Each structure stands twice: as C-alpha cells, then as structure tokens.
Structure 1
Amino acid sequence: MRVKQTLRECPVFAGLSDADLERIAGIGVTRDYEAGSTLFAENEAADELFVVLEGKVALQMSVPVNGGPGVKKATVDIARSNDIAGWSALIEPYQQRLTAVCLQKTRALVINGAGLRAFLQGNQLAGYETVRGLARIMSARLDDACRLLVSERSWQP
C-alpha cells in the first residue's frame, strides 16, 4: 500500500508499528490538488495534518512589507514527498502557523487532526514516537530559520 509506505518513510511516523500505520492511514483520506491550490491558511483552525505523497507544497509566512500595513508571503520551507504540512493539527492551540500552497499537482494523505490526536492519546507508545518525530522536524525547521536570520543580520552594518 503506497500510503502505508509513505507513512513509514515520513519522519513523524517512522517509528510506528505496521498496525499503527494502518490505523493512521484509516483516519486519513487521499486527495489530489492542482498547482496553486491552498491546503490551509495562516491563522485558520488546524483541523487536518497533510502528508505529501507526491508533489511540492510551499510553506509560507506573512511578513510585513517595509514596516507598513502591507504583507507579503515568504516561503520558509517546501514540503515534498514523505513530508508533512500542518503539524499545528497536533499541537495546541490547533491554529495554522503558516499557509500551504501547492507548487505543482500534489497528492496528499489528509489526516483528521482530532481523530489522530484521539488515537495517539489512547496509544502512548505511538503518541511518544509521533511527538518525537514531530520534534525532530520542528527542531530542524527552527535551526534553518535561525541560520537564515543570522546570515541576514550579519550582512547589515
């Protein structure tokens, strides 16, 4: 099953048993999106977690333009096959921190956040392994952001 294999290769779910992966696959549904489609928007309720099966998804943040009232979208990461988008569906306050836009035709496993949280709360080992994988991803993204910030600041007088 392609979905189960992708879950196994996804860093968030890599430590889970076959039975746990089957259960998570059952909570989700596979959906196709066209290039330019928005999976979710910054600040909206985070009801779903997306596991990219095929395609590329830009993860974007709103940033002020020249200190004024205008904003632009800055791409902070790109989710590819086996990556997740929308981890906020697992972490309170369950509100999206970024906007996710498909850069090309994309297929994703869309997992119901409440269903996944209920499963993980009832299965402590799966919950631990999932949060551990999620922490690795969040840590890597934070490291990337810090490096970018330091490199940007080092060029200013």
Structure 2
Amino acid sequence: MTGKEIFKGKIGRTLKESEPWWPTPKRLGDGSPNIVVILLDDTGFSHFGCYGSSIDTPNIDKLAAGGLRYTNFHTTALCSPTRACLLTGRNHHAVGMRAVSNMNSGFPNLRGSISKHAATLGEILQEEGYITFMAGKWHLTQMEEASMGGPFDTWPLKRGFDRFYGFMQ
C-alpha cells in the first residue's frame, strides 16, 4: 500500500464548479474463498484429531477436512517470531522479530515489531478486497507501545486488520 490516493474529481473555485469523486472499493469476485487462519500457542500435531490424535476435536477436524492443512511450517519456540513468520510468510529475523516483541534491541533482527517493509497477510488480503478480523493475542508490538497512549502504527488495525478483538501482549 502506498498510502497515497490520487483524487480523480475536480476542485473548482466554487462548489458548483467542483466535481466530487469517491474511489471504487475493490470487491471480491464471485466464488472467492473465505480464509480462516488459526494460530495456537503451545500445541502440536498430537493435539488434533485431524492429525491422528486420540483427542476428540470435531470442530477443528471439520474445518481441516474442508480446507487446507499445512504440515511443514517453520516455527520457533516463541510466540512473537512464529506469529511474524505466519503473518508475513518470511523468516522472523528478516522482519525484525528474532525474539518476543518486548523491546527494540537497536539491531534490525529485533525491533520489537514487524518491519514496515514486510506486508502482513491482513494487508495483502485487504488490498484484494477482503474484510479482515484478528482475535486473540497480538504480541507483535513493543511493550512501551502497547498501552492506550500508543503509538498505534504497529497495532493490528494499522497492520492489515479491519477489526481486532484481543490483547496486545
């Protein structure tokens, strides 16, 4: 996203000489799929029936049966880097999330938030006309920026999500 919009109306000296313009929002085509991404902390293949577990997980199993299942995803033992990988499709070091997002170390691989140069899945889906929603733990913002005082540029609503219901850390 460039953040700049070209006005295609006309600004005259008076309202009568002016022409308003409203950009046409991008709309999904017929048959566009719904996309649901589920990221859970502290779970593995042994926790879900769809991967052969003896644990009864009928709702997850039903979702998995009707969609895609990824079985080869690089993860770390930490939540923030794993979220950064999943949301950007890139290595966590490359997007500034070497470890948990508690602080900015002053080095490019640990900025405490996803680099502004790395698009998130939410941003990409928004550009294609999807309405996006994120629920749960974000944990991709430095602790000093996670309060109601902001700044808010690394919060979910500024990183590709139209709605957010959850907690920051």
The TM tier, using the shorter chain, reads under 0.3
TM-score by length of 1: 0.23
TM-score by length of 2: 0.22
Structure with the higher fraction of residues in helix conformation: 1
Highest RCO, 1 vs 2 (Cα 8 Å, sep ≥ 6): 1
Structure with the higher fraction of residues in strand conformation: 1
